[in-house]
Amino acid sequence: MMNTSRNHSRHWVFLPAMICLTSLSLVHEAMAQPASEATFLSNQRQVSFGLPRAGEGYFSPDGQWIVYQAYPVGYPFYQIYVQKLDEKTPRLLSTGRGRTTCAYFTPDQKRILFASAHTDPAIDLTEKKAREEAAQGGRRRYQWDFDPHMDLYTINFDGTGMQRLTDTPGYDAEGSYSADGKQIVFTSNRDGDADLYLMDADGSNVRQLTNTPGYDGGPFFSPDGQWVIFRSDREKEHMLQLYAISVDGKHEVQLTKNLDEVNWCPYFHPDGKSLIWSRADYSKGPASAKFKLWWMPIETTSTTFTAGTPRQITFGDATDVLPVFSPDGKQLLWTSTRGSDATSQLWLADWKTP
């Protein structure tokens, strides 16, 4: 992604259709045991409807709602929607203009955090260019732009009272809360390189957590608040690997190491004993790379983070990405193209820990 010599216009293109190391424990490659999705997932069903493409959904703390990003009909950028789980009526939360991403409920469920670029001073031109590109057939591969006008906001659950949390030149996005609601971890390239930052829930007391050339992003706190997991391409551009860092920044652990693979979107199980993510083999190029969900057990202390043997969770030809567990750990929500129309939509299943 970015290092100190890269600029804010840099973007990701990687999907084929879409330091003090006190406990370094790299995940060695392991052949998946013979299995089917039914071993881990049951009662699978699609939960997003009526929008051309939807994804990156997260549960409300009570497990009754989801918030996610989706393309509105006739508009070229993702917007943020909230929806009662298993109902088919999404409600728009964001402004309806500009790029948006990465929505997340506050632990008290009163507000929702998300990133938006609706303040882009050239938004008319930005939208025009995106519409022209779509009219010409769109992008052949998924591309994520690091919009320099992207900032973090919160909004009431009913869509009122939007408040801006960041106002620094450069991309500020990919935010999530600690379990106690006191801190937000997010990605920013405010210093010319995409690193992780922490701030208090009101946007104050911003401090840098990582500072290594290359992209660091997609961070989430561990349930006990002691660690942050994230993805990074610091070893090879675009080839994302998984890492964990203690919230004080003193201990960092690399969890995957295969530079022919892309590993991204890691997420903790609420019991803190495992994590789930998506990975794809790029050794034969992006055209043959298929993203599938993978799971690994973990053991942590305040200073160590040890990864166990990974297991493959989903199979088949569909793209499966961005998995998250429900607050009680009994369900899995993820983005998949497994539907009859092969569009990216949100899917839900009951979860059985391997």
**What integer pLDDT is reported at residue 27 of this predicted model?**
42
**What integer pLDDT is reported at residue 288 of this predicted model?**
86
pTM of the model: 0.90
Per the CB < 8 A criterion, the answer to whether 229 and 242 are in contact is: yes
Chain segment 43-68, per-residue pLDDT in tens: 999 999 999 999 999 999 999 999 99
**What integer pLDDT is reported at residue 197 of this predicted model?**
98
Tokens of 322: 């961005």
Chain segment 84-108, per-residue pLDDT in tens: 998 999 999 999 999 999 999 999 9
- Residue 80 pLDDT more than 80? yes
- Residue 287 pLDDT more than 90? no
Return the closest-CA partner of residue 112 out of 21, 184, 49.
184
What's the pLDDT band for 34 if we cut at 50, 70, 90?
A: very low
**What integer pLDDT is reported at residue 135 of this predicted model?**
87
In terms of CATH architecture, what is 47-351? 6 Propeller (2.120)
**What integer pLDDT is reported at residue 139 of this predicted model?**
53
Instruction: List the domain boundaries for the chain.
Output: 47-351
Chain segment 168-185, per-residue pLDDT in tens: 999 999 999 999 999 999
What's the pLDDT band for 145 if we cut at 50, 70, 90?
A: confident
Chain segment 293-320, per-residue pLDDT in tens: 999 999 999 999 999 999 999 999 999 9
**What integer pLDDT is reported at residue 254 of this predicted model?**
98
Average pLDDT over residues 260-265: 96
**What integer pLDDT is reported at residue 16 of this predicted model?**
39
Helix (H, G, I), strand (E, B) or coil at 103: strand
Mean pLDDT of the chain: 90
In the chain, DSSP finds a helix count (H) and a strand count (E) of 1, 27
Chain segment 111-132, per-residue pLDDT in tens: 999 999 999 999 999 999 999 9
**What integer pLDDT is reported at residue 19 of this predicted model?**
32
Per the CB < 8 A criterion, the answer to whether 56 and 69 are in contact is: yes
Q: Bigger pLDDT: 30 or 81? A: 81
Average pLDDT over residues 264-286: 96
- Residue 9 pLDDT more than 70? no
Residues in contact with 333: Cβ distance below 8 Å, sequence separation at least 6, in sequence order: 47, 57, 58, 59, 66, 323, 324, 325, 326, 346, 347, 348
